Amino acid sequence: VSATVTGASGLEPDRRATAAAFETFVARHGPDLRVALTARFGAEVGAEVMADVVALAWERWASVCAMENPAGYLFRAGQSAARRYRRRPVQLGVVPSQEPPEFDPRLPRILEQLPDRQRVAVVLVCVYDWTAPAAAAVLGISESAVRTHVRRGLAALRRELGARDK
Amino acid sequence: MTLETDLRNMRPALDRAIAGAATVERRPAAPRTIGAGSRRRAAVFAFAVAVCVAAFVGIVVRLDSSSRHGDGVPPLDTSGVTHPTASTTNEPTTTTSTEPLSTTSPQSAVPLSSVDWGSVSYPIAPRCGDVFHPPVTVGHVGYAAPAGGVHLAIVEVACTHGAGTPPVAVYVYDGASSTSTPHLAATLVAASDGWQANALRVDGSAVSLPVYGFSSASIPNCCPDVRTTLVWHWSGSRYELVSAVPPHVTRPAYGGY
């Protein structure tokens, strides 16, 4: 019997490759997912849910990495994970910092009060310039539904801003 | 400014909000109570309760056993044993016996194959996790006759612990005066070496043991990152370690002081 030494030290090659693939996944999909979760749940809860879904992705990495639309899966998983947090009004945490302001300072507050789907669609498409197909993939709805939510959301924003102007 | 322009201009402020929220420490456990209704947390809680109950039962059993022995702990037979040096550094440990084995079994009133290995008192580390003088679980037992007249039993044991994977110890016995008092001839692996293993193999004059360990104390218990196979060859009078021992650390919780 000859001496057999398998792997002197450090991570095993399989685990190293898995960790690298996961880091690549998070770097690629993490920012978009964080934006979508923030638009859906607000900045604070969105960050909490983001941490939860990243942990979930690692836990179920074998199946997540094989998905066609992992970001969409994790966004939906985030909606389940968010149930553990107390229900509270969505707060985007947006604070205008320049004078004159870059945008109507009333806008964040009105945006927070939109229905969830309209707010998410408006943030993704109008604030972050996502295409309707990209937003539809993450939100798990059709492209036409995204456009409808954006249209209705913008109409509600105009209506509310106009009403407050009067 | 149009509404669309306002929304687009809001992006830097929203980015700042996202970045700020991501760096804020996560909220404490208020929403993470069992009452909040997470099945996963409930399962973890149930597991923790089960571990506590098991640990309590283990302590009670141990105390009961100790009281029957009178002095608390049965005496350990360490005659003829050469313990590898315990290490808490990255230096490789020496897991080989240095004392030649007798070519005739010194205490052969009972054949080794009839020894009840579960009732033997092993010189394993005095501490296993938070349990001192823990009960021992016998893993694999292999018998070898590497030379004429030499009959050996190689026994892999580990302390019984409520959770986690304790390190193993591997002992070589060359005879037995009764079914519960074999003669310890050598220690191939001590618990203080910090190796996890469960697949001892005795093949003729060779003994091999795939082991797992930790390259540093910061490696989580779940995921040992050092793997190797320790191999000993019969040199005519003793088992000699012929494989390399990669650097690894021992866990003080398991006696690796």
ipTM over 0.85: no
Query: CB atoms < 10 A from the CB of B182, how many?
Result: 25
Query: Which range is most confident: A106-120, B34-48, B214-228?
Result: A106-120
Cα–chain-centroid distance for residue B250?
10
Q: pLDDT per residue over B22-73, tens digit each?
A: 665 444 444 444 444 567 777 888 888 888 888 888 777 776 655 544 433 3
Q: Select the more confidently predicted residue: A132 or B214.
A: A132
B175 - beta bridge partners? B183
* Record: contact B17-A158, CB cut-off 8 A: no
Residue B25: both structure tokens together: 């420490």
Cα–Cα distance between A127 and A143 in angstroms, integer?
A: 17
Chain A CB contacts of B233 below 8 Å: 1
pLDDT at A146: 94
**Token reading at B16:** 């700042």
Q: In chain A, positions 120-149, which contact chain B (CB-CB < 8 Å)? A: 122-123, 126-129
Q: What is the pLDDT of residue B23?
A: 64
pLDDT in the model for residue B75: 35
Q: Kindly provide the b/e burial profile for residues A4-15, where b requires at least 16 CB atoms within 10 angstroms of the residue's own CB.
A: eeeeebebeeee
Q: Torsion-angle region of residue A10: left (phi > 0), alpha (psi -120 to 50) or beta?
A: left
The answer to whether B183 and B120 are in contact (CB under 8 A) is no
Task: Encode pLDDT of A36-74 as tens digits.
Answer: 999 999 888 888 899 999 998 888 888 888 888 888 999
Contact B54, B224 (CB under 8 A): no
Residue A145 binned pLDDT confidence (cut-offs 50, 70, 90): very high
Q: Which two tokens stand for residue B1?
A: 């400014």
Q: What is the C-alpha separation between A61 and B7, in angstroms, rounded?
A: 36
So what's the pLDDT on residue B237?
A: 84
Q: Note the pLDDT tens digit of each residue in B64-104.
A: 655 544 433 333 333 333 333 333 333 344 444 445 554 44
Answer whether 0.80 is exceeded by the pTM.
Answer: no
Answer with the residue of higher pLDDT: B64 or B219. B219
- State whether B14 and A34 contact (CB < 8 Å): no
Residue tagged 């687009």 (tokens): B8
CB pairs under 8 A between A and B: 132
CA-nearest of B72, B163, B196 to B126 is B72
First to last CA, chain A: 91
Nearest CA to A79 out of A137, A33, A132 is that of: A33
Looking at per-residue pLDDT, the higher value among B223 and A113 belongs to A113
- Positive or negative: CA dihedral A22, A23, A29, A30: positive
Q: What is the pLDDT of residue B31?
A: 43
More confident residue, B220 or A120: A120
> Where residue B113 falls among pLDDT bands split at 50, 70, 90?
confident
Tens-place pLDDT, residues B151-204: 899 999 887 765 667 788 899 998 888 888 899 989 998 887 888 887 888 887
Task: Quote the minimal CA–CA distance from B109 to chain A in Å.
Answer: 32
What pLDDT score was predicted for residue B162?
A: 58
Comparison of pLDDT for A4 and B36, the residue scoring more: B36
The alpha carbon of residue B245 is apart from the nearest alpha carbon of chain A, in Å, by 8
Partners of B187 in the beta sheet? B171
C-beta atoms surrounding A63 within 10 Å: 11
Q: Would an 8 Å CB–CB cutoff place B116 in contact with chain A?
A: no
Q: Average pLDDT of chain A? A: 83
End-to-end CA gap in chain B: 71
CB-CB under 8 Å, A93 with B20: yes
Contact (CB<8Å) B228/A8? yes
Closest-CA distance, A157 to chain B, in angstroms, reads 8
In this predicted structure, what is the pLDDT of residue B6? 86
